[in-house]
Structure 1
Amino acid sequence: MNLSPTLRLAAFLAVGSFAFQVTAQTPRTAEKYDASVPKPTLTEVRYGEHERHVIDFWQAKCEEPTPLVFVIHGGGWQGGSKERVNRFADVKTLLDAGISVAACNYRYVKQAVEQGVKPPVKAPLHDAARALQFVRSQANHWNLDQERIGAAGGSAGACSSLWLAFHDDLADPDNPDPVARQSTRLWCAAVKGAQTTLDPKQMKQWTPNSRYGGHAFGFGNFASFEAGRESILPWIAEYSPYALVSKDDPDVYLTYSAPPALGENQKDPTHTSNFGVKLQEHCRANQVSCQLVYPGAKAITHANATEFLIAKLKK
């Protein structure tokens, strides 16, 4: 694919202490894009110093600045890659609707532990925030509307998306780094199989056989996660999406593969729609729009995440 002069320029501009790289020097993952995914306009664009600080970008053809869907892959913050993008949003359909797409990699929890990041979940979450800021910093080069950016993701990537949606803006307007001055706020978020809380007490109340989340805070198993809860309450308040909801937050869309059963063991407790039911209740109490979709759910306004994103971003 031939790149426009603007995109060629963007691919080599230096931001902070890093320079963009259009192609990676060595493969970072064995995963490949599905055949249904169009070829990215730019690949392996660097947003940071770690080898996983890379973004792929698809530019929608439009004279006016386009909205953007920012995709954060799943994998428990322990695996996965940006090549999973079509599991969470239909790239071709978004491009046809005049919406550009970016998909990022980020550090895994194990890499955060190796680097001494505490809690470990800070690394993937703040990497996602940094990647979003980086994309915003390229709005002029990539023909983007800086305001209309919606996040999409699944599982851990869904949790990261909700964390961005509900967290206060991390922009630092006085920072000498132009990327750090950019906003981390979203226009909307559409996620699949999201863990909406990282509080083990809430997880057990909602789903008694819960077993996910301890690794986010450095615990080896769920029992130690529960036992150590009191010692990490400030971290839960900072990194659990549920704890961050406030009335100024954007619309969110949640989809799950099975109906809820609050207070009952679940076949897949890590991705149960019990998470969605409780977040929707909390969002409604805070006057935040939260659509919840699962088999048998009633009054569905948007059939899937891509349809929701198009409706919200193209308004």
Structure 2
Amino acid sequence: MQIQIKMYTDIPYGPHERNVLDVYIAEQEPSPGPSPVLVFFHGGGYIRGGKADVHRYAFVHQCLSAGISVVSCNYRFIQSDPYPAPMEDGTRALQFVRHMAPEWGLDPDRIASAGASAGGHLALWNALRGDLARPDSDDPIERQSSAVCGFLGFITQVSKDQRFYEGRYHGPHIQPNLQLFYGLSDPEERHRPEILALAEQASAIHYMSASAPPAFMVYTLPLDGPTIPADAPVGEVIHHPVHGYVLQQAYTRFGIPYTLRHGADPERPGELLAFLQRCFTRD
């Protein structure tokens, strides 16, 4: 089987200047039909980063070589567009890819999502929410489903609610950029009841249900137990595998396939690709 990569760059998927994505279409020769696709969202704390970051991940090239197309997306930053703007961009990007699938030779029924750090949380938030289509919308893109058949996260947070750390972390750090994320003028505003309610809505794990897609989470730090060391620097706190561990407990309760890899139990060669292929072949 020969794979040819057709590339489209800076394709607008929405009205904002950061609503652009790059498409890498894996065309098989002879073509067996439309290819599955992985939609990737970069990290950067919701304040930096870009779609070119996808090239840092070796598994992306493995996907293309295996006939899985890849789409990498930018989204709005919270300095000017706080929550829910980045999450809404994630929704629209997924809907846009499904809308364009016939033209691009992609399979609209085999779309998985992935992301790193903040982009992982954005993608997970959408993956757990499922289909956010608006059937009555005048916009044909909004009428498309945003559901995915699998999720792959790298050093991914599962919550934007500081209360997530209660009983799991006793150090001094608050999540970086939390004030920007919610558009607050004072960090102490996060304790207001309406902001606490918003924090639940903004947290991916809040939407865990029996309809969640299979998930695979990868972390670089080791998981030594169900807590985060109090002396951990803030970058380790927000990227700690405890996030993946807590989500794993929820997945286990629902009996949904879930794999957690971390520094003490790293991913096996070819494991990520095999996971995606299973997602694309599930009934």
Change in CA separation of 1:90 and 1:303 when aligned onto 2, cut-off 3 Å? closer
Change in CA separation of 1:158 and 1:88 when aligned onto 2, cut-off 3 Å? farther
Q: Distance in 2 between matches of 1:279 and 1:302?
A: 23
- Alpha-carbon distance, 1:306 to partner: 4.1
1:50 aligns with 2:40: no
Q: Distance in 1 between matches of 2:42 and 2:243?
A: 19
* TM-score, normalised by the number of residues in structure 1: 0.78
SS in 2 for 1:56: strand
Q: Distance in 1 between matches of 2:258 and 2:189?
A: 28
1:86 aligns with 2:55: yes
- Residue 227 of structure 1 is matched in structure 2 by 191
Q: Distance in 1 between matches of 2:200 and 2:212?
A: 16
Is contact 2:18-2:75 (8 Å) kept?
A: yes
- Residue 16 of structure 1 is matched in structure 2 by none
Q: Distance in 1 between matches of 2:271 and 2:248?
A: 17
- Residue 26 of structure 2 is matched in structure 1 by 60
Aligned partner letter, 1:288: I
- Alpha-carbon distance, 1:309 to partner: 2.2
1:150-179 Cα offsets, whole Å, 9 max, x none, are: 111100011011101101421011212110
Q: Which moved more, 1:275-284 or 1:262-271?
A: 262-271
- Residue 155 of structure 1 is matched in structure 2 by 117
- After the TM superposition, which residues 147-296 of structure 1 pair with which residues of structure 2 at under 5 Å, given as runs? 147-209=109-171, 210-212=173-175, 214=178, 215-219=180-184, 224=188, 227-228=191-192, 230-260=193-223, 261=225, 262-265=227-230, 266-267=232-233, 268-296=236-264
The alignment of Structure 1 onto Structure 2 pairs a total of residues equal to 268
Is contact 2:6-2:27 (8 Å) kept?
A: no
Is contact 1:206-1:275 (8 Å) kept?
A: no
* TM-score, normalised by the number of residues in structure 2: 0.87
Q: Distance in 1 between matches of 2:65 and 2:149?
A: 20
- Alpha-carbon distance, 1:97 to partner: 0.7
RMSD across aligned positions (CA): 2.3
1:245-277 Cα offsets, whole Å, 9 max, x none, are: 001110011111112341532341110111111
Extract structure 1 runs of 4+ deviating beyond 4 A: 300-304
SS in 2 for 1:308: helix
Change in CA separation of 1:236 and 1:303 when aligned onto 2, cut-off 3 Å? farther
Alignment gaps of 5+ in structure 1: 1-37, 113-119
